[in-house]
Amino acid sequence: MVHDVKNLIKELSNQADTKKALLAQRFFKTATGQYGAGDIFLGINVPTLRNIAKKYSGLSLSEIEILLKNKIHEYRLTALLILIIQFKKADIHSRKKIYKIYLKNSKWVNNWDLVDISAPNIVGEWLLKNPREIIYKLSHSKNIWQKRIAVIATFAFIKHGEFVDTFKIAEILLRDSHDLIHKAVGWMLREVGKCDEKSEKEFLDKHCKNMPRTMLRYAIEKFTKKDYQHYLLCSK
């Protein structure tokens, strides 16, 4: 079989499951007015998509863009999984191309699972050794997914013991109104705490009174019961 984008699409179609698709559309809030409004699902689980992505990991960037711009969720997720595979194996020149293609098409990275799987592994990894102004620009975007990309990308920094950008982006997004941003920021703060609880607590001591409750709950999830109650009492 020729491993081109047409055959990949055919394989995805063969794996479609109507019942699972309906469940996914409810889970990812695709109804009118919800954050994933209009997203279409085939009902394919992530392990299956990962296997297909590995099989088609040699697709050209132009073919991957075709998938990434598709209205079907699993097409976009598969495209991102392929980009991650290629990014990990690529030289600096090719990594830069993948990073730029990702940013150019970031409007298609438009649900939380797409952001969470790709932002640290492409944007974050690239920015480990490159200027990071872009995540500050994205953090001020009116687009919820670009803001989520900004904070979740810092997961790559956290894994390398770098917390400054996570804290700065968290401060920018502290007053954001969207629940999915609250969860993302709280999650990243929790990840900081796994590496350096003292640094996380210093941030919380400064900001907990102004943090949305969901953000704080996510941030303190792994604390002792005593510390958890202490910070919960200081929130709004």
Please name the fold of domain 1-108: Leucine-rich Repeat Variant (1.25.10)
Q: What is the DSSP string of the chain?
A: ---SHHHHHHHHHHT--HHHHHHHHHHTT-STTSTTTT-B-----HHHHHHHHHHTTT--HHHHHHHHT-SBHHHHHHHHHHHHHHHHH--HHHHHHHHHHHHHTGGG--SHHHHHHHIIIIIIHHHTTS--HHHHHHHT-S-HHHHHHHHHTTHHHHTTT--HHHHHHHHHTTT---HHHHHHHHHHHHHHHHH-HHHHHHHHHHHGGGS-HHHHHHHTTTS-HHHHHHHHHH--
CA 86 to CA 52: how far, in whole Å? 14
pLDDT of residue 32 exceeding 90, the answer is yes
Rounded mean pLDDT of 56-81?
Answer: 96
Predicted pLDDT at 236: 58
Confidence class for position 160, pLDDT limits 50, 70, 90: very high
Tell me: the pLDDT tens digits for 116-127?
999 999 999 999
Rounded mean pLDDT of 142-164?
Answer: 97
- CATH 1.25.10.90-classified regions of the chain: 1-108, 131-236
Give the list of residues 6+ apart from residue 75 with CB closer than 8 angstroms, or none.
9, 12, 67, 68
**Packed helices 179-195 and 197-207: angle between N→C axes, nearest 10 degrees:** 140
What whole-number percentage of the chain has pLDDT above 70? 98
Nearest to 11, CA basis, from 65, 48, 57, 62: 48
Angle at CA of residue 68, ends 90 and 6, nearest 5°: 90
Rounded mean pLDDT of 88-113?
Answer: 97
Tell me: the pLDDT tens digits for 161-216?
999 999 999 999 999 999 999 999 999 999 999 999 999 999 999 999 999 999 99
Class of domain 131-236: mainly alpha
**Packed helices 5-14 and 73-89: angle between N→C axes, nearest 10 degrees:** 130
**What letter represents residue 96's amino acid?**
K
Q: In this structure, what token pair is assigned to residue 21?
A: 């698709």
Tell me: the pLDDT tens digits for 35-53?
999 999 999 999 999 999 9
pLDDT of residue 6 exceeding 70, the answer is yes
pTM: 0.95
Predicted pLDDT at 234: 81
Predicted pLDDT at 2: 56
